[in-house]
Structure formats: structure tokens, C-alpha cells
Homo-oligomer: A and B are copies of this chain.
């Protein structure tokens, strides 16, 4: 026998993805021009609606795949947004997710049927609904991650130089970091291993490549 909560309200649940990218210049955020009403034509986070038979994470992954073709991406649930009039079209609640993409060894491409664009994190437009709040929160979380679990920052190519890693940190934390102190700190953290390989593209001497250590 199956019981049902017959008299309870039902409503639409959405997911919105804050997609961060890093390209050695700075931290970027991926936005799309909204294709449906209301607020059609305005910049927005990439989002979608939760289906009856999928989890929130699956839904966010589906959205991400639609936009970039990518699967198996680090996706983290942030927070649910539920102001009654957050979406003027209809009562919806939305759960925010954040994803991190490596823009350098880019194994994906933006789906062309969407008008999508990367914006620098410190110069992106006003977004629809409560999306700007969501980005704020995601940035806070990203800064926290950088301090506590930098190995989760899947924004770099598999092999990267100390300079790349430091530039990433500087972009996320929006600050300058001392080269020597940064190297010692990363080393004492025991999260990377130095390879024998060097990257020769940026100098005559070449700079060592590193990899994040895998942990079980």
C-alpha cells in the first residue's frame, strides 16, 4: 500500500549553475542570454527545471552538459532560494550549484545554440532575479575552498606550474601573494607533487610542472 501527501502544495523546482572558469588571465563566470520569458534577452545563470524523476545534482549536471557537452564535472550544491516572488512568472524555488571548468586545456565547447559568454569575475552584468546573490555566495564558497581544500579547485589543467596555481589563488582571493611564501605553503600542505617535467613555454629556464596528489 502506498501513502500520498495529497493535500500538500506542489511547486516548480529549478537549478541554477554558477560556472567558474580560469584561463591564466583571471577568474571568469559563464553567463547566458535568457531565451525564455520573462526577462528574455537579459543575462542570467544557466539554469533548468528539476524533473520528477531526477535528483537535483543530476539536474544540474544535465544543465551543464547541455551548455558545454561536459560530463563528470565537480558540482557542488550551494543553497536553495525561495523568496515567493523571486521569479515573477510563477512561484519557483531554485537550488544553486557551482561548477569549476578549466578553460586552458579545454576539452569542451560551448553549445552554439545558446548565446553564452565568459565574463571576468569583477566585471559582469546585472543578472535576472536573485542570480547576483547566488554568484556572491558561490564566490564566498570558492574562497573558502581555496583556503581549505585547494585540491578541489579543478580550474587548472592536469599539469600546471606554480605560477599558474598562484595566479589562480590571486584571482580567487583577489589579492597578491608572495611567490616564496606561496611555494612553501603549498609544499607544506602536501597536496601537489612536482614532476620531472618542465614547461618551457614561458622562459628559457623552464618551470616545473606539478600535479595534484590523489587522495582516497
* Residues of A that sit less than 8 Å from B by CB: 2-5, 8-13, 36-38, 49-57, 77, 79-80, 82-84, 88-93, 95
Check A13 against B93 for contact (C-beta < 8 Å): yes
Report chain B residues within 8 Å CB of A49: 5, 8-9
Which residues of the partner chain B approach A4 to less than 8 Å between Cβ atoms?
89-90
How many chain copies? 2
Min CB distance A29 to B, Å, is: 22
Contact between A3 and B89, CB atoms less than 8 A apart: yes
Instruction: Give chain A's interface secondary structure class.
Output: loop
How far does the alpha carbon of A110 sit from the alpha carbon of B82 in the complex, in Å?
Answer: 28
B89 touches A9 (CB 8 A): no
If the complex has contacts A11-B50, A37-B3, A49-B5, are A80 and B83 also in contact, measured as CB distance less than 8 A? no
Q: Tell me how far the C-beta of A96 lies from the nearest C-beta in chain B, rounded to whole angstroms.
A: 10
A70 CB, min distance to chain B CBs, angstroms: 21
Smallest beta-carbon distance A97→chain B, Å:
10
Chain B residues within 8 Å of A2, by CB: 88-89
Closest to A40 in B: B3
Residues of B within 8 A of A93 (CB): 13, 50, 56
Q: Using Cβ atoms and an 8 Å threshold, which residues of chain B touch A95?
A: 80
B82 touches A79 (CB 8 A): no
Write out the residue numbers on chain B whose beta carbons fall within 8 Å of the beta carbon of A8: 12, 49
| Chain B residue nearest to A51 in the complex (CB) | B9
Q: Can you list 19 A-B contacts with CB-CB less than 8 angstroms, sorted by A residue number?
A: A2-B89, A4-B90, A5-B12, A5-B49, A5-B90, A9-B51, A9-B52, A10-B11, A11-B11, A11-B13, A13-B13, A13-B93, A50-B82, A53-B91, A54-B84, A57-B82, A77-B79, A77-B80, A80-B95
Given A11-B13, A77-B80, A91 and B52 contact (CB-CB distance below 8 Å): yes
Query: Nearest residue in B to A11 (C-beta to C-beta)?
Result: B10
